[in-house]
Chains A and B, each alone.
Chain A
C-alpha cells in the first residue's frame, strides 16, 4: 500500500534559521509524482512543487529547495532563512501511478512550522 510519513508533527524555529521538513514515502509503483503543499492559517492548500519519479535532480526556488532521493524514498523540503510568513502546515503527497487514471493523492499527516520573530 502507498503511504507518506511526515515524522515531524511540529517544528518551531526563529526567523532566519534554516529548516528541513522530512518526507518518506512507500510505493510499489515505478512511476509516480511527489508533491509539497503549504496550508496557511486560511486553510487553502497552496501548491509548491511536483517531482516526477524519474527526475532526481534537486530543485531550488528562491529560499525553497527540495532533495529527492529514491534510494531512501525521501523527498525533503528545506526553507533557507525562514520568515514569519513561512508559518503554516506543510503537506507532502504521493500520487498513484498515472496508469491508474485516478489522480488520487496520498497525503502525509503534515508538519506544522512555526517561525518566531
Chain B
C-alpha cells in the first residue's frame, strides 16, 4: 500500500534532549513537509523540501532541523533549543509544490 508512515506514534523525552521524528513515504512524491499542531489550533509549517538534498524553513523553523538525503525520507529533529516542543507533528508529501498534500498519521511528542 502506498502511503506515509511516521514513527513512533507517541514519543516522550526529557527536556534538554534532542529527538528525531521519522517520516517515510512510498508515493514517489518529490515534495515533503513538516507541520506542527498545538491543541485547538491549525497546522503551522516547520520545514519543507521540494527535492532531494534541498529544504527551506517554514514559519516556525527555530529549534528544528531536517535532512533530505533520500526522496522517500524527511526526518525532523527537535533540538533542545526549541522552547516549547510538546505538540503533535504531522508530515506530508505531494507530487510537487502545487500537488495535493497527503498526510501521515502524526507523532505526538511530549517533553517533560
**Which residue of the partner chain B has the closest CB to A96?**
B97
Count chain A residues whose beta carbon lies closer than 8 angstroms to a beta carbon of B. Answer: 26
B64 close to chain A: CB less than 8 A: no
Q: Is the CB of B105 within 8 A of A110?
A: no
Residues of B within 8 A of A101 (CB): 50, 97
Residues of B within 8 A of A105 (CB): 43, 45, 101
Which of A37, A43, A103 is close to B96, meaning CB atoms less than 8 Å apart? A103
Residues 42-62 of chain B, each 1 if its beta carbon lies under 8 Å from chain A, else 0: 111100101000001010000
Which of A42, A103, A109 is close to B98, meaning CB atoms less than 8 Å apart? A103
Q: Is the CB of B56 within 8 A of A42?
A: no
Which of B33, B43, B97 is close to A98, meaning CB atoms less than 8 Å apart? B97
Q: Is the CB of B56 within 8 A of A43?
A: no
A70 close to chain B: CB less than 8 A: no
Q: Which residues of B contact A (CB under 8 A)?
A: 31, 33, 40-45, 48, 50, 56, 58, 88, 90, 92, 94, 96-106, 108
